[in-house]
Amino acid sequence: MTRLFNDPAAFADELVDGFVAANSAQVRRVTGGVVRSTVSAQESVAVVIGGGSGHYPAFGGIVGQGLAHGAAMGNLFASPSAQQVLSVARAADLGGGILFTYGNYAGDVLNFDEAQRQLRARGVDARTVVVTDDVASASPAEKHKRRGIAGGLAVFKTAAAASEAGYSLDEVERVARLANERTRSFGVAFTGCTLPGADAPLFTVPEGRMGVGIGIHGEPGIDETDVPTADGLAELFVSTLLAERPDGAGHRVAVILNGLGAVKYEELFVVYRRVAALLDEAGLTVVEPEVGEFVTSFDMAGASLTLFWLDDELEGFWRAPADTPAYRKGSIRAVAQAVVDAEAQIELVEISPASSESQAAAKTAARALDAIADVIDENADELGRLDAVAGDGDHGIGMQRGSHAARSAAVEALAAGAGVQTVLERAGDAWSDRAGGTSGALWGAALRALAAELGDDLAPTPRVVAVAVQSAKDAILAFGAVPGDKTMVDALVPFADALSREVDGGASLADAWTAASAAAATAAAATAGLLPKMGRARPHAEKSLGTPDAGAHSLALIVARIADVLKEN
């Protein structure tokens, strides 16, 4: 378990503070993560990686010369927000374009894609290569749906070395995609991991048993077996990966044997002894293998093996020197520390003028956000339990972080005289930024869509509120989920549609909202009979049968509590 912490909610921020203090020769802190503290070649491509904290050395530990230019670092096991990614990318930008590369998780995709959209709107060429190396998470026919685990190191290093070699953004993207296509990983776990302040691990594995294919966030595996010998594990790793040799692969491979946090280096070396022999027997030439910790999961006892199939170009990038806090290779030329203008990085955002009617509506919105934070606090443990059935169990924690941040932002904006649009915009940005992950992106988008319809000028009528909720629904649907996928959409669509019907029928806002919240509750409960088709629960859909979706359930709780606020208004 994680023993050393202060306030669990501050753990991620404090670990970044300490990490930067210990490694200031290579990294400096910016809002949302870290970037190189050293000078990089102007007009070159900036490689920006990222993901949730709790996986050190990923992601900040591999920022530095020869590797990433910046890392967006989200909260524990939660993707960074779009604001965090955008901040890191802008700080890392060298004028040659941005390449985002990160593991294929729904929250990361949503937030990095939004940051990419905003960069492009500002005239910055930004591209993305998503890492999909985990063979246990989807079939070869659906490898685009696979998770990214320790094989991300191969992709990150290839892209960064290509940038150092002066490649254009087109070429850096090309070789990063090739590296991803040539990378395969497979992992196991013997115990779960425990987040700071938690009284139980995210998942458990029975004593003497091994979870096969378990994800680095505690996602359930595809099988469970007795714990093998070290040689037996090596044989499982190698046979699994050799069964899926990439198209065009030759006889040269880079090898990464990764410990997930609690397996000791000595154990890894015993396993690698047999891995090396098996690869030799298969006629493969191993190029500069890596044995150690590269992507961890707090105190999870487990390991993964990665094979990165090389050609001449990829081998050159794999062998290229690097100097980062946690990864060093070869001899790299020392460069000067970058000079940073701190004031130039500060953006002031003013409060827009608002009518008295909109300011009155803003007070109601702030009370609603306060009620949301309260109901999430009351149900956080249950939301985590629901999410842990087939996911990673962090929905309650993420919703707490987001709702508390939204409440604080609303209070601050309200005190400055903001109208309802500005209050909800600030709340949405704060929710997205603090929560990260999928729920942060979704609730941030929903609140911003609501805000855009309500405005800062007039008192919102029931019809305007219903239209605003429909806009929020459309913003969520734009992320790709549809009714029946077992997501929050299954409760949101019935809620929004029922609200519109009730308002069109002449009901007051409070009465219409109450009726619509009942429809949401019914729909959320009905998700127990659905199989998930999106997100981390998808590969283990059958495990969630009989359990309602955590996102749909939290939405139903929220709209029911807002109904109480509207009745009192």
Burial class (CB in 10 A: 0-12, 13-18, 19+), 181: middle
8 Å CB contact between 288 and 154: no
> Distances in Å between the alpha carbon of 281 and those of 239, 251, 267, 306?
12, 12, 22, 17
CA dist., res. 109 & res. 82, Å (int): 10
- For residue 354, give the 3-state DSSP assignment: coil
Fill in the amino acid letter for 403.
S
For residue 1, what is the enclosing H or E element? none
CA dist., res. 287 & res. 255, Å (int): 7
Q: Give me the catalytic one of 55, 69, 144, 217.
A: 217
Beta bridge mates, 38:
337
HSE-up (13 A, CA, CB side) for residue 563:
19
| Secondary structure, 3-state, 128-176 | EEEECCEHHHCCHHHHHHCCCCCCHHHHHHHHHHHHHCCCCHHHHHHHH
- Residue partners of 402: CB distance under 8 A and separation at least 6: 430, 431, 432, 434, 435, 439, 440, 443, 444
Fill in the amino acid letter for 494.
P
- For residue 4, give the 3-state DSSP assignment: coil
8 Å CB contact between 301 and 262: yes
Task: Select from 425, 65, 399, 83 the least CA-distant residue to 73.
Answer: 83
For residue 81, what is the enclosing H or E element? none
8 Å CB contact between 366 and 432: no
> Distances in Å between the alpha carbon of 161 and those of 64, 66, 70, 149, 302?
11, 6, 14, 20, 29
Token output for 234: 């090596």
Question: Length of the chain in residues, anyone?
Answer: 569
Burial class (CB in 10 A: 0-12, 13-18, 19+), 541: middle
Task: Select from 316, 297, 303, 296 the least CA-distant residue to 254.
Answer: 316
CA dist., res. 288 & res. 516, Å (int): 60
What DSSP letter does each residue of 182-233 carry, written as one string?
TEEEEEEESS----TT-SS-S----TTEEEES--TT----SEEEE---HHHH
What DSSP letter does each residue of 340-374 carry, written as one string?
--TGGG----PPPP--HHHHHHHHHHHHHHHHHHH
Neighbours of 230 (CB within 10 A): 16
Beta bridge mates, 87:
none
Instruction: Clarify whether 55 is annotated catalytic.
Output: no
Residues belonging to the active site: 217
